[in-house]
Amino acid sequence: MLQVKVLVVDDSSLMRRIITRLLEEDPALKVVGTAADGIDAIQQIKVLRPDVVTLDVEMPKLDGIATLRRMMVECPVPAVMLSAHTHEGARSTMDALSAGAVDFVAKPSSPSDLPAMVEELKAKLKVASRVSMRRVFKTTNITPPVTQRRTPPPQVKPAATPAKRQVCNKIDLVVIGCSTGGPAALQQIIPLLPADLPAGVVVVQHIPIGFSKSMAEHLARKSKIEVSHAEEGDEIKPGKVLVAPAGFDLTFKSRGRGFAVSLGNFGQPLAPGGFRPSVDVVMKSAAEVVGCRTMGVLLTGMGRDGAQGMLAIKNQGGPTMAEHESSCVVYGMPKAAVDLGAAGKVVPLKQIAQEIQAVF
């Protein structure tokens, strides 16, 4: 079995030792080196050629974000960030994801949480090690080094599977679901939507508790359309994007002639492999409450969350769309929807904002 070669970068010698020891308990992972700062990390990447890097956000000499930006130019390699569980740490994490990080793990708030954090880190390192840096460059709009540049693929045509005939003349709600690679992908969509979009938008991103609000703020700073972190009772309004808060199930309820969001189940146990928010939960609720006036969009991400929800929207007559494999950081969730016949269209990331606007 080929082991995933990992470089651990952290300014704390204790954290470097602990993370190395715990990662190497997994026979699929091999820590090939450690670095205490970004400058050392760049040098070691060039020598050791790891498959993936764990990168602390806060470091001396060259912090995690500056290190990441240099990596993307000098020695591109997938990176998983270790982020402080603070508001400032969450903001820095969003900057890191924009700069090319594949994913992140929140540092534990107490020593007892460390084993769970390392288990999450192991899983994300294995996924990140298989990610094509070419797709990361596409998602983030980073200009790749000359050696990384490829001839762009031909324009992708819509999926051959025909969408069910839309029975509504109006779309009131667009639900966008994503996971790994999603925060960067959303920055190629939400800022391109006009402030007067004739429908409301709900974004469902798999993200740890404490980070979804910073993601909403990050998108709001870049966008003409209004973006906010969803709260109980928020109305679905044209020209407004609501980001589903991490740790809650988001569903919809009728309110007068319109619709509003309802948040629940915070802190309740999750089924193995489950998510909260879940794209399936949000899309199925939209299909039930809003019906064919819902549009479903699935972006990059691991697993199958969203495929059944998108099928529910399509069965109601609403338009559905999945991101094409060529631009996905991880082609999991969109593939599941395509395989299920739930995606009416399959298009690369750079066309999705245009396709959303084309339904109005």
Q: What residue ranges do the domains of the chain occupy?
A: 4-131, 173-358
**If you classify domain 4-131 with CATH, what class do you get?**
alpha beta
Query: Which pTM value belongs to this model?
Result: 0.91
Active site residue 206: yes
Among 172, 206, 234, 327, the one annotated catalytic: 206
Write the CB contacts of 219 (distance below 8 Å, at least 6 apart in sequence). Answer: 186, 187, 190, 191, 203, 227, 241, 243
Alpha helix locations (H) across the chain?
13-23, 38-48, 64-74, 87-98, 114-129, 133-140, 182-186, 212-222, 279-289, 307-315, 333-340, 349-358
How far apart, in whole angstroms, are the C-alpha atoms of residue 41 and residue 59? 11
Active site residue 12: no
Q: At what angle do helices 307-315 and 333-340 cross, to 10 degrees?
A: 40
Among 37, 51, 56, 305, the one annotated catalytic: 305
Among 179, 214, 326, 327, the one annotated catalytic: 179
Active site residue 339: no
pLDDT values of the chain reduced to their tens digit, one per residue, 360 residues: 689 999 999 999 999 999 999 999 999 999 999 999 999 999 999 999 999 999 998 888 888 899 999 999 999 999 999 988 777 888 899 999 999 999 999 988 888 888 889 999 999 999 999 999 988 988 886 777 755 544 444 444 444 444 444 457 899 999 999 999 999 999 999 999 999 999 999 999 999 999 999 999 999 999 999 999 999 999 999 999 999 999 999 999 999 999 999 999 998 998 888 899 999 999 999 999 999 999 999 999 999 999 999 999 999 999 999 999 999 999 999 999 999 999 999 999 999 999 999 999
pLDDT in tens, 84-112: 877 788 889 999 999 999 999 998 888 88
Tokens of 248: 């809650």
**If you classify domain 173-358 with CATH, what class do you get?**
alpha beta
Equal CATH topology for 4-131 and 173-358: yes
